[in-house]
Structure 1
């Protein structure tokens, strides 16, 4: 059996440079851009507790608690989840939060738990459920307020609310979104996005469902508010009006595999390997891997192992799908290969 700690994926949030990212397709029909971790990890209960076990050097305890509380509220406002801080040092909590420097806990011994890199660069990272840990780089200058550059100190002052809200999304089971307006977009730190966007709401509600916020939802629905005041009812009575999720026609369908891709039936638990392209030591190309159109950004030990031209998966319900490798050179895709993997039906037991 694979140890539990090897099944945990660390989500890393970095400061991204370059030009501001904008959405040039805002007038086109909305498509699904959020990503739920392919392993399917999520909390099995809705009343989630958290505890701050190590505070930052640049922000007092009261403001730290306030910032973290605001960040959690952004998710409780759009989902059935509730969050409560545990202050008793002896009590356990679902999610633990700490501010650390280079070497913290087990980062030197685990490839899934990177050490921090000092001032600037990586700000924080989080672990999927059920591990429930969020780590912030204590070399950074954390503040309660919007991120800005301090000319007096010569450093960036980082908005703890914004970064914490992004990392909480990972600790609840979300991956990075492709929507540049989303809080879960990897460039959210650079763009300054502080609030959950519609794409984030769709993602969290896909994991945990939604609850009506008002007791008068039934009378409002009978008055026709579901159709005439859709935005208002989506905020207050999404369950009553069946507005929890985006319409099915707005969800991007994965690109079908090429006609020459054969479906391979694999027994549950078998390790399946793929190799992308041929080895070229003189000019090694860049290789990217995709599952059902979503890019695989990192390995998930116990499920998906990605190393250069090679990809290995363990056949199970989460890993069924179409795997595609693309070879890039000088920014162009020079070749692509796809494999369709399906679970072989298990034979009924004779007992």
Structure 2
């Protein structure tokens, strides 16, 4: 009976994300699975402050601060970002954190942020930059330690470090990852993933870049550490070892991808247009569009516009990838073209 109850409780637990998710079917091998918010929202400075404005009922202030600090450190270890807690009540902070119940500050007007629902269910949600808010359900039993079911109390004890680290990713500008091993995967609560995975590193560094954290990176690299100690160098010397970003990869589309992929390097914010086919046809062809092997089913205002044979995108991190168009006639593919869109590197600022 206890085992059955535990299974039921585990089935009830869901990831407390505030982001809308897509139905995704992976086809072929994919290296990049992270997702950056569509409009590229991010912080414009790297020294980010945070303040806990309302503490949980089940965890004392000292352990709450420790858990939140550990969660932020996971992201500062793999990015140029630094995080500082603000404890002065009159000072402002970039990110505010609070524990609330039911219909708190935002759920009536925001379809992406449902009201909290008591034990289990919705655990937490976060807002993208520059709003910078993270809300946790105060009906949950939050602990400093790994999630587990308490038979004594009859409730699920939730790992505040794990959930906070996931929500911080959203507050920094990341959406959910498709990599099941990633901290930003929507099912990270199920799996108990507490640590930043390589896919998470790629995502946060696509938004904020990366920097070497050690002054001895050059001698380490000359000793061959970039090849022999790649994990260590990825954390400490990503620039020196060219490990900041994943390489461009061409992902399989629903059928075999065309070989004539055209690579375009474009500046951020530029509108890029594609046309499927060049010949004038008497009757409008049936055209399908794909991004990284997944069919684009509808336009998304602000960054993807699809109309018959034409597709337009606004160049940003979210829209990087391989776009493929296919012309169909009587059920057969008669033409296909692909374009790989990459952002031109931006000049580093002095700030």
TM-score, with structure 2 as normaliser: 0.67
Deviations along 1:96-117, whole A, 9 cap, x unmatched? 1111111111321333332111
Query: CA 1:40/1:293 → structure 2, altered by over 3 Å: closer, same or farther?
Result: farther
Range 28-37 or range 164-173, more displaced: 28-37
* Match of residue 255, structure 1, among 253, 256, 267: 253
Q: Which residue of 1 aligns with 2:205?
A: 205
Q: Deviations over 1:23-77 (max 9, x none)?
A: x99xx96611111112111111110000111111111111110000000000001
Distance 2:64 2:229 in 1: 38
The answer for the alignment partner of 2:18 in structure 1 is: 12
SS in 2 for 1:125: strand
What pairs up with 1:142-291 in 2 under 5 angstroms?
A: 142-248=142-248, 251=249, 253=251, 255=253
Shift of 1:209: 1.2
- Looking at structure 1, the residues matched to 84 and 295 of structure 2 have their Cα atoms a distance apart, in angstroms, of 34
Deviation at 1:300, TM superposition (A): 8.1
User: Superposition RMSD on alpha carbons, in Å?
Assistant: 3.9
Distance in 2 separating the partners of 1:231 and 1:159: 26
Unaligned ranges ≥5, structure 1: 1-9, 15-23, 260-266, 269-288, 306-312, 325-339, 341-351
Equivalent residues in 2 for 1:298-313, closer than 5 Å: none
1:84 aligns with 2:84: yes
Say how many residue pairs are matched. 274
SS in 1 for 2:156: strand
- Provide the rounded CA distance (Å) in 2 between the counterparts of 1:176 and 1:48: 22
Cα deviation for residue 189 of structure 1 reads: 0.3
Distance 1:55 1:207, change over 3 A: same
- Cα distance in 2 between the residues matched to 1:220 and 1:206: 25
Residue in 1 that maps onto 2:65 = 65
TM-score after normalising by structure 1: 0.67
Structure 1, 61-70 or 33-42: larger mean CA deviation: 33-42
What's the CA shift string for 1:226-255, capped at 9, x where partnerless? 23433332222111111112233xx45373
**Structure 2: 5+ residue stretches without partners:** 1-15, 21-25, 259-269, 272-288, 306-310, 326-337, 339-351
Is 52-61 or 111-120 further displaced after alignment?
111-120
Q: Report SS of the residue matched to 2:120.
A: coil
Can you list the C-alpha shifts for 1:299-319, whole angstroms capped at 9, x where unaligned?
9886689xxxxxxx9974457
Contact 1:178-1:185 within 8 A present in 2 as well: yes
The change in CA–CA distance for 1:225 and 1:168 in structure 2 (over 3 A counts) is same
- Quickly say closer, same or farther: Cα 1:300–1:86, change in 2 above 3 A: farther
Decide which moves more: 231-240 or 87-96. 231-240
Q: 1:99 to 1:293 in 2, by over 3 A?
A: farther
CA drift of 1:218 comes to 1.3
Task: Compute the displacement of 1:166 (Å).
Answer: 0.3
Q: Give SS of 1:227's match.
A: helix
The answer (yes or no) to whether the contact 2:19–2:175 under 8 Å persists in 1 is no
Q: 1:232–1:112: structure 2 CA closer, same or farther, 3 Å change rule?
A: closer
CA distance in 2, matches of 1:155, 1:290: 44
Cα pair 2:177 2:184 within 8 Å, conserved: yes
1:161-217 deviation digits (Å, cap 9, x = unpaired): 000000001111111111111111100001010101111111111111111121111
Deviation at 1:294, TM superposition (A): 5.9
**How far apart are 1:12 and its partner, in Å?**
2.4
